[in-house]
Amino acid sequence: MAGNWKMNMDHLEAIHLVQGLHQELTDANFDYTKTEVVVIPPFTDIRSVQTLVEGDEMGIKYGAQDVSVHEKGAYTGEVSATMLKKLGVSYIVVGHSERREYHNECDKKVNTKARVALDNGMTPIICCGEGLEVRKAGEHVAHVLKQIDGGLEGFSAEEVAKSVIAYEPIWAIGTGEVATPEDAQEVCAAIRVRIGELYDADTAAATRILYGGSVKSSNVADIMAKEDVDGALVGGASLEAVEFSKIARFDA
Ligand SMILES: O=C(CO)COP(=O)(O)O
């Protein structure tokens, strides 16, 4: 269960939120061996989150929302994978639809960023998903599979099994409009089948596939009940400790 904070929460608010989340999960005797809980704050919060999580030995993990394709050097405004690794980052979101749309990130760039994450010992959360027009035209599965083919290009079976895929239909992001559990299952299953075709059945079974798009505590259980949905990438509802802890405890 991953919470993508997007461009919300300064570092002081981040400390408050992570403490609150930890408290809620501890009170509920949360089992981190069953469900991984990941917060994905803005870059400026990561050092504070690291100090908190490591200092209090919390079971919560944390990630970054992006990474540079470059190793180091004259790239003003960029943040490298080695910098993130040094901060104890476990996950890096790549190819979120907001980055594809506002920063013109194409499948090739998403693929390179995922490669950079893996090469530096972190797990990419590779996002894919269709817009409303594509969905209306009934081309959503083909659209997403093309993103998957491009995103995973050049990866070994082992690398794919270590990676996380997040299916986020753009029309369901931040709109309150949730894909039905059946919609989520249809595409997540198609992604798993494709990984099986590109690699093998074991790799397909091992790869974690998340659904994202207006996930809340009130709808998470139905989505998680679907066979090919292994978790959720949560935006707005991850900004509130009680709500996100309920999402993480979807079967409680
Ligand atoms: O984009 C998302 C997570 O990456 C989903 O955002 P919302 O949960 O706010 O719809």
- What is the Å distance from ligand 1's center to 4 Cα? 7
> Is the Cβ atom of 37 under 6 angstroms away from ligand 1?
no
The pLDDT confidence band at residue 178, using thresholds 50, 70 and 90, is confident
**CB neighbours of residue 80 within 10 Å:** 18
Is residue 174's pLDDT more than 90? no
User: What is Dmax (Cα atoms) for the chain?
Assistant: 51
Nearest-atom index, ligand 1, CA of 238? 8
Task: Please state the residue numbers annotated as binding site for substrate.
Answer: 4-6, 174, 214, 235-236
pLDDT tens digits along 126-143: 999 999 999 999 999 999
**Domains of the chain in sequence order:** 2-248 (3.20.20.70)
Mean pLDDT value across residues 233-245: 98
Q: What is the mean pLDDT of the chain?
A: 97
pTM for the structure as a whole = 0.97
Q: Cα–chain-centroid distance for residue 201?
A: 23
Instruction: Quickly list H helices, the chain.
Output: 11-27, 46-55, 81-86, 97-102, 107-119, 132-136, 140-151, 157-162, 181-198, 201-206, 220-224, 241-248
pLDDT tens for each residue of 34-90: 999 999 999 999 999 999 999 988 999 999 999 999 999 999 999 999 999 999 999
CA 23–ligand 1 middle distance (angstroms): 24
Interatomic CA distance for residues 14 and 52, integer angstroms: 10
Cα distances (Å, whole numbers) of residue 161 to 18, 173, 188: 28, 26, 15
Question: Of 102, 125, 126, 215, which is best to mutate to test ligand 1, by the most ligand atoms within 8 angstroms of its C-beta?
Answer: 215
Is pLDDT of 175 > 90? no
- Residue 216 CA: nearest ligand 1 atom is 8
Does the pLDDT of residue 241 top 80, yes or no? yes
Reported ipTM: the value is 0.98
Of the candidates 228, 159, 225, the residue with the CA atom closest to the CA atom of residue 189: 228
Average pLDDT over residues 84-106: 97
The lowest-confidence range among 54-58, 139-143, 194-198, 242-246 is 54-58
For residue range 203-226, list pLDDT tens digits in order: 999 999 999 999 999 999 999 999
Question: What is the predicted pLDDT for the residue at 251?
Answer: 77
- Let me know if 36 is a catalytic residue: no
Give one DSSP letter per residue of 226-242, joined into a string. STT--EEEESGGGGSHH
Q: How far is the CA of 194 from the centre of ligand 1 (A)?
A: 24
Tell me whether residue 79 is exposed, middle or buried, using C-beta atoms within 10 angstroms of its C-beta: 0 to 12, 13 to 18, 19 or more: middle
For residues 21 and 244, the answer to whether their CB atoms sit within 8 Å is yes
Residue 146 has a pLDDT of 98
Asked about 168 being catalytic, the answer comes back as yes
The answer on pLDDT for 247 being more than 80 is: yes
Nearest to 153 by CA among 194, 113, 111: 111
Output the residue whose Cα is nearest ligand 1's atom 7: 235
Please state the rounded mean pLDDT for residues 92-116.
97
For residue 149, the one-letter residue type is D
Q: Is 124 in the pocket of ligand 1 (CB under 6 A)?
A: no
Answer yes or no: is the C-beta of 234 below 6 A from any ligand 1 atom: yes
d(CA 62, CA 195): 26
Q: Which atom of ligand 1 is nearest to the CA of 166?
A: 4
Distance 158 CA to ligand 1 centre (A): 28
Res 21 pLDDT > 80: yes
Q: What is the DSSP string of 2-24?
A: EEE--S---HHHHHHHHHHHHHH
Point out the ligand 1 atom lying closest to the alpha carbon of residue 93.
4
